[in-house]
Amino acid sequence: MSGVYARRMGIAVASAALAATSGLLTAPTAQAAMPTPVAASTARTYLSELTVSAEGSSSGYSRDLFPHWITQSGACDTREVVLKRDGTNVTQNSSCSAVSGTWYSQYDGATWTAASDLDIDHMVPLAEAWRSGASGWTTAKRQSFANDLTRPQLIAVTDNVNQSKGDQDPAEWLPSRTAYRCTYARAWVHVKHYYGLTVDSAEKSALQSVLNGC
């Protein structure tokens, strides 16, 4: 467990305890960011190390095979932890639900003040992971992947933007906010490399193109 992650979880534990006694709590100003992905130079190296393979079948895929959102601490599940992490001045109730705060969506540059306007995006979508090797994983490993707070795999973004992304890879979809595309590609490669997932040829070309411009 990294020091940053340990501190975050320590804050979550302390916050849950405070919520139990005070009903409402106000989080300190958040870092407002997912874990920093590897540098572009490292991402280019990682990309060259990924196995290039045609995408597998979606046969047998179900989101239920990637259990989420799991409890992280007290009443806080993964979604609520990410909402608190990615927002600014987030207030949570005793159930750990975000009741106020401000969130900036990196994908489209929109700012929101209601948690209901945010989805937690899986950087590498669950179905994409399934077709890239996760179909052969244990359920426990798929659960870890779907709730990974240590790698740059989870980020709070505008809900309909996340829905438009769906399970597409970077050859098919990139954030409309071009300033974020370098970070997006670095994060995508970071996650795929860590989990040993494959890339298809079009996906690899798209990622190379973005990373070469970083």
**pLDDT tens, per residue, the chain with 214 residues:** 444 333 333 433 333 333 333 333 333 333 458 999 999 999 999 999 999 999 999 999 999 999 999 999 999 999 999 999 999 999 999 999 999 999 999 999 999 999 999 999 999 999 999 999 999 999 999 999 999 999 999 999 999 999 999 999 999 999 999 999 999 999 999 999 999 999 999 999 999 999 999 9
- Are the C-beta atoms of 175 and 107 separated by less than 8 Å? yes
Cα–Cα distance measured from residue 164 to residue 168, given in angstroms and rounded to the nearest whole number: 9
Cα–Cα distance measured from residue 55 to residue 106, given in angstroms and rounded to the nearest whole number: 28
DSSP single-letter state for residue 173: -
pTM: 0.84
Give the residue carrying structure tokens 């006694």.
21
Cα–Cα distance measured from residue 97 to residue 163, given in angstroms and rounded to the nearest whole number: 22
Strand partners, 17: none
